[in-house]
Structure 1
Amino acid sequence: MRRRKKPEKQKKGAPVWMVTYSDLVTLILVFFILLFSMSQIDMIKFKALSEAFSKHAIFDSNSSIIPLDEPPDSTENNDNQERDKESHSLDSLITEVQSYLELNGLEDVIVANKTERGVVLVLQEQVLFETGEAELIDDSFPFLDKLGEMLAAMPNLIKVEGHTDSRPISNYRYPSNWELSTARSSSVIRYLSENHDINNRRFTAIGFGDTRPIAANDNPENWEKNRRVEIIIADPEYTEEVTEEAS
């Protein structure tokens, strides 16, 4: 009589291939979920997190930042350098002019002052003109010749200004102090340019009439002070700028 075969015991659980497949599907699903979550940034949470880090000074206890002094304003430094350079140029110019005036015995006739415009030479009326006239007197020629020699040796621009007192003038040649002051500055320039090697382009003639007094127009002494011609030897720095622009 044949023995009966015992039935094979079936293994419990899913087949092996199905477990492997499900694991693979699960991993793929997790992977895509992760990608999706990374692409969706919660801006509110992100902002809150940023503010939390900024409020709490994590590195305050061991700060390695060294405070630095504020650097000096470069614009201010440049301005100071320009002023120093300008002052040096004007100092050299006024020294040269005063030395020349003293050497040629002109310090009692011509007063030299340093201003922002340059060196200003002041010649009183009695050195150059008769009262109320714009024609140079003969006694002015020696002074102007020495002055012309000095100006010819310099490259600076030259401005000649005529000034009068406040007393009105009215004649057929000079209807007012404006015409008289302008005619006087023009006479000085004409003499210097015709008798000395000075380029006419360096000159500017201006008449201010009685609008720029240096003393109160209330007595004969002050009237005499206000009747004058001023020769401005321009600041060398200004002269260089104009020369460069012209070239």
Structure 2
Amino acid sequence: MKRPNKKPPKGSPKWMTTFSDMMTLILVFFILLFSMSQIDAARFEAVAESFRNRMIFDGFPSTVEMDNPSDSADLNQQQEEFDNFKQNLFEEDGLDEDELESDQESLEELLEEIEDFLEENQLQEVISANRTDQGVVLILQERILFDTGEAVIKSEGEPFLDKVALLLSNIPNSVRVEGHTDNRPISTPAFPSNWELSGARASSVIRHIVDANDFNEDRFIAVGFGDTRPVAPNDSPDNWQRNRRVEIVILELSQSLN
């Protein structure tokens, strides 16, 4: 007798369904692990601490009546603590608008004081000041501080830096000193390119200011921009001279050097 032919079942085997579910769950698990690894550790610790202190839950009373509800004074105090917690959390991220507005006003006042200082000391011809989105900028041309292609401060330039140091001694702001050059190439044993020259000039300015005064070195940082940030086209001797400069940026109080 002829045996009937058994046709294989249509579709994928049953074990494939279970296997697919398992692989999907594993994929989701690793995605969750990756997303959790991107959490800001400081922010997570702050929120976790608030949960441990029951600040968030106690600050918002339940709509369901409790057997022993807290009195209104306790609830107000807890709400105030929670508001302070939120405020501190935003301030850590630099989102305090009042503080930012205060910085803006203080820098405007600082610019006026600096302009008066430059006028009283007859420095307008060699040092100029302006306001940027980062702070107040003092611009010193190369000719008053350095010889061409050098990073050693000239003796006749030291009094100008001493005046700048006197100005900085009266304010607590952090300071970034930037070195800038024109686009003409340089290649010497000391300075293979304009990058090294601009950085060395910025460092020399900071070294003179810090060594001659009792400043906290953490307030200062040196940056060399080479010829990447010109203030005039590099097409004439006058414009080359304008681009060879040192800028002393007095940063907003809310800005750090990190």
Distance, in Å, in 2 between the alignment partners of 1:126 and 1:106 is 14
Q: Which runs of 5+ in 2 are unaligned?
A: 1-94
In the superposition, relative to structure 1, how do residues 173 and 108 fare at CA in structure 2: closer, same or farther (>3 Å)? same
Match of 1:112 in 2: 129
SS of match in other structure, 2:205: helix
AA matched with 2:161: L
AA matched with 1:97: I
Q: CA deviation at 1:203?
A: 0.5
Give the number of aligned pairs. Answer: 165
**Which residue of 203, 224, 235 corresponds with 1:218?**
235
Is 2:175 the counterpart of 1:158? yes
**Which residue of 232, 245, 255 corresponds with 1:228?**
245
Q: CA deviation at 1:238?
A: 2.6
Considering only CA atoms, is the larger Rg found in Structure 1 or Structure 2?
A: 1
Q: Is the 8 A contact 1:97 1:112 kept in 2?
A: yes
Q: Is the 8 A contact 2:100 2:254 kept in 1?
A: no
Q: TM-score, normalised by structure 1?
A: 0.63
Identity rate, percent: 52
Q: CA deviation at 1:83?
A: 5.3
Q: CA deviation at 1:215?
A: 0.5
Distance, in Å, in 1 between the alignment partners of 2:174 and 2:214 is 14
**Which residue of 220, 228, 240 corresponds with 1:203?**
220
Q: Which runs of 5+ in 1 are unaligned?
A: 1-77
Q: TM-score, normalised by structure 2?
A: 0.60
Distance, in Å, in 1 between the alignment partners of 2:134 and 2:228 is 18
C-alpha offsets along residues 42-73 of structure 1, whole Å, 9 cap, x if unaligned? Answer: xxxxxxxxxxxxxxxxxxxxxxxxxxxxxxxx
AA matched with 2:210: S
Distance, in Å, in 2 between the alignment partners of 1:175 and 1:100 is 38
Q: CA deviation at 1:82?
A: 5.4
AA matched with 2:181: T
Distance, in Å, in 1 between the alignment partners of 2:212 and 2:97 is 41
Match of 1:29 in 2: none
Distance, in Å, in 1 between the alignment partners of 2:223 and 2:96 is 31
In the superposition, relative to structure 1, how do residues 196 and 82 fare at CA in structure 2: closer, same or farther (>3 Å)? closer
Runs of 4+ in 1 over 3 A off after TM superposition: 78-84
Distance, in Å, in 2 between the alignment partners of 1:234 and 1:227 is 22
Q: Is the 8 A contact 1:89 1:237 kept in 2?
A: no
Q: Is the 8 A contact 1:121 1:231 kept in 2?
A: yes
**Which residue of 155, 164, 183 corresponds with 1:138?**
155
Q: CA deviation at 1:136?
A: 0.5
Match of 1:97 in 2: 114
